[in-house]
């Protein structure tokens, strides 16, 4: 099977490249705006997803069986303040990819987010009615709607609060932020009134791979299986790495002013992905062990 991955330099993209390139029965086509540092076991094409002619040219030239679309603008506050750029990256780009998939008969696996929901309750299943609070959430929901109305073969994988380590360790996330802050002896404020099911990047990559290999159709929740607040995550991280928990200050989201609203409670019920895809995520503690092994190989 020929599998094309967009956004191969991102956290999820890197994990997908590692996973798919290790499976010799597949031909991996990786794409991004700039070349990855290593090009050992896969074909690479430069691709800016916001350029329609580039999208059409790359997909028409490579003719993948499946496109896994991970590239997106995901910085929630930046999306709120740079709306035109956000719409181009998260909505128009999806339209271009859908058209190219239709033209070349490719199956699309698309990544979406719990931020399409308002967070009034959780955990949520695949039938929950979206009601985004932020422009990022609105843009991701608009992308989903384009796909659902497209007439192509598709699966949408929604996920929550992804954590992991990139190869150059250039991108942070809640786990790495807590770890570094405590190692540096900094006291940090962490909210206790938002609820998520944090997702290890390797697990999300496996979910994408399973959906691609089965050419799954429909919406799937693909996340961790444990409901946690950011403060819970911080405490678990401190415990795992044997860091000073007294530096953690429990607070609530009213103390923070951010351009974009966050849903208070999301988190996913992942029974469908377990049943239909064979998805089996790590526990959060197991995920920390995976992350630790990559920080200290």
pLDDT tens-digit profile of 88-131? 999 999 999 999 999 999 999 999 999 999 999 999 999 999 99
pLDDT tens-digit profile of 190-236? 999 999 999 999 999 999 999 999 999 999 999 999 999 999 999 99
Domain count, the chain: 1
What is the rounded distance in angstroms from the CA atom of residue 115 to the CA atom of residue 117? 5
Domain that holds residue 23: 2-163+198-224+267-277
What is the rounded distance in angstroms from the CA atom of residue 168 to the CA atom of residue 180? 16
Residue 246, in any domain of the structure: no
pLDDT of 167 reads: 86
pLDDT tens-digit profile of 30-75? 999 998 877 677 999 999 999 999 999 999 999 999 999 999 999 9
Helices of type H across 149-214: 174-183, 201-214
Read off the pLDDT band of 297 (50, 70, 90).
low
Please, are residues 193 and 219 in contact by the beta-carbon 8 Å criterion?
A: no
Residue 90, in any domain of the structure: yes
Residue 32, in any domain of the structure: yes
Give the CATH number, domain containing residue 117: 3.40.50.720
Please, are residues 45 and 2 in contact by the beta-carbon 8 Å criterion?
A: no
Residue 259, in any domain of the structure: no
């Amino acid at each position: 099977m020929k599998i094309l991955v967009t956004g191969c330099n991102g956290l999820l993209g890197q994990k997908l490249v590692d996973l798919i390139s290790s499976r010799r029965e597949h031909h991996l086509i990786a794409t991004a705006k700039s070349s990855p540092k290593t090009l050992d076991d896969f074909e690479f094409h430069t691709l800016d997803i916001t350029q329609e002619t580039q999208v059409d040219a790359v997909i028409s030239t490579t003719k993948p069986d499946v496109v896994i679309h991970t590239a997106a603008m995901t910085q929630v506050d930046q999306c709120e303040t740079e709306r035109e750029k956000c719409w181009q990256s998260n909505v128009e780009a999806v339209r271009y990819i859908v058209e190219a998939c239709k033209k070349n008969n490719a199956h699309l696996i698309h990544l979406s987010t719990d931020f399409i929901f308002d967070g009034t309750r959780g955990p949520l299943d695949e039938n929950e009615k979206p009601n985004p609070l932020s422009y990022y959430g609105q843009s991701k929901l608009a992308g989903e709607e384009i796909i659902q109305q497209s007439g192509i073969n598709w699966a949408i994988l929604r996920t929550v609060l992804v954590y992991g380590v990139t190869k150059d360790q250039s991108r942070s996330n809640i786990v790495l932020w807590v770890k570094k802050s405590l190692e540096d002896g900094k006291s940090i404020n962490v909210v206790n009134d938002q609820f998520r099911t944090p997702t290890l990047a390797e697990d999300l990559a496996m979910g994408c791979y399973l959906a691609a290999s089965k050419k799954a159709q429909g919406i799937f929740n693909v996340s961790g299986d444990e409901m946690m607040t950011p403060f819970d995550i911080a405490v678990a991280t401190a415990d795992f790495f044997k860091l000073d928990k007294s530096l953690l200050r429990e607070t609530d989201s009213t103390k923070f002013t951010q351009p974009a609203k966050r849903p208070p409670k999301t988190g996913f019920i992942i029974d469908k992905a377990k049943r239909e895809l064979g998805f089996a995520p790590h526990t959060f503690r197991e995920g920390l062990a995976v992350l630790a092994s990559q920080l200290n190989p």
